[in-house]
Structure 1
Amino acid sequence: MKDFERKQLLERLDREGATVGASIPEEIEVQGEDLDLQSFVFEIKRRDTIPKGERDRVETAKKNLRRERLQRRQLIEDGEISFEEGEQLVEDVVGIDRALNALEQLGPANIEGEAQAQEMADRKRWMKFLKQALGHEAADSGTGRASRGR
């Protein structure tokens, strides 16, 4: 992989809205074990409260996911991999981030309200991304146009 391709992949990971539109992988290998990640996250999120025994399981899963995320990112940064392999690693890391976000927000929750809040947050990140991409990031007048003539 060329240096500019590696940099491009790492920038995709570091974007604030990187997880917008991303889905949690159905299955992923984490620390050498296959994990039905999507099922696990939805199973845990579906409950009103997390029993004490399950909290340990969730905390262990989060710790392992963070470790796996770091290892995959490191592979993109330093590994001798192809651009295609790097793209797959980026998709994996973004999916892991999405799962971690879901697991971090655990607690008594209204699922419908949570879904609406997530949708609003996704919309907000998307609009910020569009403003940045279109060069309107510095606009603070509320018009959506970057000021000219400064």
Structure 2
Amino acid sequence: MQLIKAALISSTVFVAMTLSAHAAESGKKKGYGDNPNIFEVLGQKTLDTAQDAANAVDRTTQKGIAKVRPKVAGTWQETKIYSEEQTEIAKENSQKAAATVNKKWNEAKASVLGDPNSPPAPIESHPLSQSSTSPAQNGQLN
């Protein structure tokens, strides 16, 4: 369908250019003269008809373009708005993901290294000769 439209438009432009050039040449002749050749008359009438058809196609094409242009502009504007909305959603989601990753990282770090806010474990010191466990803990009774 697009190929047919393109062929129609290009042939119309070609015919219009050819006819306008021919009309400029034949514009010098006013009328057909005293004894016109039948082929000149038919050629001139065909030329006039083709010129009128080309002008009609041009007007129709311009009307079609005028109808389509606002729809295309509206669609383009809607596409831009939709893209902006999707960009905002993507930004929010990436910020949420970054916050979640940061939270998980801190939790993992705290579980491995210990929580820096909690007090340190008490350090007990005993002489080396003394056992670190009492006999009751080892299952021995005094």
More helix by share: 2
Same fold (TM over 0.5): no
Which is bigger in relative contact order (C-alpha 8 A, separation at least 6)?
1
TM-score by length of 2: 0.30
TM-score by length of 1: 0.29
